[in-house]
Amino acid sequence: MMTLHWSPRSPFVRKVLVCAHELGLKDRLTLVRTLASTKEPPEALMRDNPLSKIPTLVLDDGSSLMDSVVICEYLNDMAHGDLFPQAAGQKWKVLRWHALANGLMDVLILWRHERERPHPEAPLLAAYAKKFHASMSRFNAEVPALSLQGVDIATITLACMLGYLDYRYVDTAWREGYPALAHWFKPWEARDSMLSTRAVDG
């Protein structure tokens, strides 16, 4: 059994859970609810991950792995899965899309922190919005190529990023601005792995 520092709201944790689900490993994970407060890093989490970030996976021997993509690759190897294609033609395509989707998730977290501050910095808000729209436009334009991809670390991360928009960024009305991407997301929303890991408050 492996223990995952978990929150129902984190898109990075969701990415790990969706991978585990798709790989048939979800019952091998014990979830511990961990509040990764940025201002008050919890001791219990810091013992397993000095960066105080979730997801963090604690293995049977007490050692731990951090950063969602590392955890996902570990699970993929354990299950002999194919979420990380190795053939050169696929590998760099998938790692690039993963980096874009994951990087956009980072931007969304920073943007949210900024906009919830009592006095947000206008230039920062504008820069986050600019990066958001540029990245979304890029994905929207690449939907024809994305549609040829199956279930892999890139498409899972992109789906979790879009799921996070539906949770925290409803105000962006992203489906109206990026209809091809919205169409791409439809079958993803209906997957068991996505339905059983939806973000909830609490």
Ligand X SMILES: N[C@@H](CCC(=O)N[C@@H](CS)C(=O)NCC(=O)O)C(=O)O
Q: How far is the CB of 148 from ligand X (least distance, A)?
A: 25
- Residue by residue, DSSP assigns the chain as -EEEEE-TT-HHHHHHHHHHHHTT-GGGEEEEE----SSS--HHHHHH-TT--S-EEE-TTS-EEESHHHHHHHHHHHTT--SS--SHHHHHHHHHHHHHHHHHHHHHHHHHHHHTSSS--HHHHHHHHHHHHHHHHHHHHTHHHHTT--SSHHHHHHHHHHHHHHHH-GGG-HHHH-HHHHHHHHHHHTSHHHHTT-----
Q: Please report whether residue 55 would count as binding ligand X according to CB under 6 A.
A: yes
Given the complex with ligand X, which of 23 and 57 has the nearer CB atom?
57
- Which residue among 14, 21, 26, 53 contacts ligand X (CB under 6 A)? 53
* Among the listed residues 136, 130, 127, the one whose alpha carbon sits nearest the alpha carbon of residue 185: 136
Of positions 2, 18, 23, 54, contacts ligand X by CB under 6 A: 54
| Per-residue contact flags (x/-) with ligand X for residues 73 to 102, judged by CB under 6 A | ------------------------------
Which residue number, 52 or 193, has a Cβ lying nearer to ligand X?
52
Residues in CB range of 38: below 8 A, 6 or more apart: 113
* 6-25 footprint of ligand X as x/- string (CB under 6 A): ----x-x-------------
Residue 36 or 58 with smaller CB distance to ligand X: 36
- Minimum Å gap between C-beta 108 and ligand X is 9
Asked whether position 36 contacts ligand X by CB under 6 A, the answer is yes
> Which residue in the set 3, 52, 76, 197 belongs to the binding site for ligand X (CB under 6 A)?
52
The pair of structure tokens assigned to 177 is 């601005």
Give how many residues touch ligand X by CB under 6 A. 13
Q: Tell me: does residue 109 bind ligand X (CB under 6 A).
A: yes
Question: Residues in the site for ligand X, rule: CB under 6 A?
Answer: 10, 12, 36, 38, 41, 52-55, 67-69, 109
